[in-house]
Amino acid sequence: MDLKYLFRPSSMAVIGVSSTQDSHPANVIYMKNHLRYPVLTYAVNPKGGQINREPLYQQLEDIDGDVDMAVIVVRAQFVPGVVEQCIKKGVKGAVIISGGFSESGNHELQKKVTDIAREANFPFVGPNCLGIYAPDLVDTFFLPGERIVRPKKGNVGFVSQSGGVLVDQMVKFAGQGIGISLGVSIGNKAYLRETDLIDWFEKDLETKVIAFYIEGFERREGREFIKRVQTCSKPIVVLKAGKSPKGIAAVSSHTASLAGDYRVFSEVMKQYCVAEADNEYELTSICEVLSCYSKGSRGNVGIVSVSGGHGVVAADACSAQGVNIPGISSQTVGTIREKLSREIKEIACLTNPLDLTGSCVDSDIVASVRHLARDENIDCILTLLLPYSPGISADIGAKLSQVARNEGKPLIAYVPNEDKYKIIIEGFELNNVPVASSVEGGVLMAKALKRCRPC
């Protein structure tokens, strides 16, 4: 099944555009793509006419040339006929925004649409969804462009049964500087499902991490998902909804999915080294670190801090998350102490976590990270930077990134997410080093590397 025309289209038709209601979802989608994206966009409505001096085609067949994908925004009962028109026109795939299918108990109508599509090998996303967002290319969300916070183009592919969760996660990704390769809201997932998206993302050169928000599966579908996860070469992150009785009931009414036994699901995810996120905040941290380091680690973390208190907070968080803080070899301690500046040589605490004190300078932090990375007991380093200290320069992010590149061990940084420290944060991010906006976030990143180690 070739999905490139659906996720990387050159042309698209929006079916259901209104000639009188500018706020209609189809109009929002049409105008946004027509004005802001390179995809060639056509508007379709059986009444025909014009919209902003552009032709409003009565049917797909009236459009000259090929149409790669269709966005269907009509009443549910008209969707089967529109799908047949798409197939006749030679459209390669569709996004069905329309609701009123299985989520409303209308299972037969959804089955009818799916049967028509499967017989013609016509893939579609939805129904009851927002569809797809491909940065700088296409956006089928029926949300005004000025209200969407868009993450930059990056290497995280995100698939969500909920359009709202997808949009909200995009906001969080943007805030943390995480880029996405593609965002897909699959809604009722009547045709394209999580397993199909794993196949697409594994082959997609722009994607390094595959993330899912999952409400539930059909019977036996969970087993197929696990089989596909087992053979996937890229790290997979999952945020599972429907963990409680109330959540399970909400899942059924939202996308007509079966939430299943969460405990069993969670244990199987651990067995196959899938990084399961407990919440959206943790999902953000996991995606950020795996977008930088996809190989995982044993989970032995060395912590370098300029504040003893922050080191204690990190140690507690590591303990709570099952992240190991091993001892450092006496040789490593001796080497680091020898490299420290005279002002802190006698006052720095060089157990793990290392407390370099607020009197340290760049060279102290750089030397500590470099030689800690060379300790065989350590396979990941968490650096807690408080830029308030006068000895820390704006170049510390770039300097530590160079050390990490040379030493070949994952480096995670904590820097307060404030505009005045942006140059330090960019020094890390531009060199593919993840930056957490909290100490706990940094620990969650280290935990994610442990969860995604080769099994």
Place of tokens 């399961």: 276
Q: How many CB atoms lie within 10 A of CB 398?
A: 17
Place of tokens 């380091």: 293
Could you read off the pLDDT tens digit of each residue along the chain, which spans 455 residues? Answer: 889 999 999 999 999 999 889 999 999 999 999 999 999 999 999 999 899 889 999 999 999 999 999 999 999 999 999 999 999 999 999 999 999 999 999 999 999 999 999 999 999 999 999 999 999 999 999 998 888 889 999 999 999 999 999 999 999 999 888 999 999 999 999 999 999 999 999 999 999 999 999 988 888 888 889 889 989 999 999 999 866 555 455 544 444 444 457 778 888 888 887 888 989 989 999 999 999 997 778 889 999 999 999 999 999 999 999 999 999 999 999 999 999 999 999 999 999 999 999 999 999 999 999 999 999 999 999 999 988 888 999 999 999 999 999 999 999 999 998 989 999 999 999 999 999 999 999 999 999 888 765 54
Picking from 241, 263, 292, the residue at the C-terminal end of a domain is 292
**The predicted structure's pLDDT at residue 140:** 97
Q: Classify residue 308: in a domain, yes or no.
A: yes
Residues 437 and 303 in one domain: yes
**The predicted structure's pLDDT at residue 452:** 67
Cβ burial of 29 (10 Å; 0-12, 13-18, 19+) is: buried
Residues 214 and 172 in one domain: yes
Q: How many CB atoms lie within 10 A of CB 227?
A: 12
Cβ atoms of residues 166 and 144 within 8 Å: no
Residues 104 and 164 in one domain: no
Q: Classify residue 186: in a domain, yes or no.
A: yes
Residues 79 and 189 in one domain: no
**The predicted structure's pLDDT at residue 147:** 82
Cα gap 32→308, rounded to integer Å: 51
Residues 447 and 323 in one domain: yes
Which amino acid is it at 442?
G
Angle between helices 79-89 and 107-119 (to 10 degrees): 10
Pinpoint the alpha helices (H) of 388-434.
396-407, 422-429
Picking from 292, 312, 347, the residue at the C-terminal end of a domain is 292
Report CA Rg, the chain.
25
| Token reading at 298 | 């044993």
Beta-sheet strand order (sheet of 380-384)? 354-355, 301-305, 380-384, 411-414, 435-436
Residues 305 and 447 in one domain: yes
The CA–CA distances, whole Å, from 308 to 242, 257, 347, 438 equal: 40, 48, 12, 16
Q: Classify residue 142: in a domain, yes or no.
A: no
Q: Classify residue 144: in a domain, yes or no.
A: no
Q: Classify residue 139: in a domain, yes or no.
A: no
CATH code of the domain covering residue 31: 3.40.50.720
Q: How many CB atoms lie within 10 A of CB 334?
A: 12
Cα–chain center distance at 285: 10
CATH code of the domain covering residue 354: 3.40.50.261
Beta-sheet strand order (sheet of 50-51)? 50-51, 54-57, 40-44, 11-15, 69-72, 93-96, 124-125
Q: Classify residue 138: in a domain, yes or no.
A: no
Cβ burial of 408 (10 Å; 0-12, 13-18, 19+) is: exposed
Residues 218 and 325 in one domain: no
**The predicted structure's pLDDT at residue 68:** 98
Residues 167 and 112 in one domain: no
**The predicted structure's pLDDT at residue 246:** 52
Residue 203's SS3 state is helix
Phi, psi of 450 (to 5 degrees): -65, -40
Residues 413 and 328 in one domain: yes
| Token reading at 82 | 């529109």
215 CB-near residues (< 8 Å, 6+ apart): 161, 162, 241, 242, 251, 254, 255, 257, 259
What's the structural domain count of the chain? 3
Place of tokens 């047949």: 84
Torsion, CA 108, CA 113, CA 117, CA 118, rounded to 10: -10
**The predicted structure's pLDDT at residue 244:** 53
Q: Classify residue 131: in a domain, yes or no.
A: no
Residue 353's SS3 state is coil
Picking from 292, 320, 336, the residue at the C-terminal end of a domain is 292
Residues 286 and 161 in one domain: yes
Residues 261 and 153 in one domain: yes
- Point out which residues pair with 95 in neighbouring strands: 71, 125
Residues 18 and 75 in one domain: yes
What residues make up the domain containing 32?
Answer: 1-126
Q: Classify residue 311: in a domain, yes or no.
A: yes
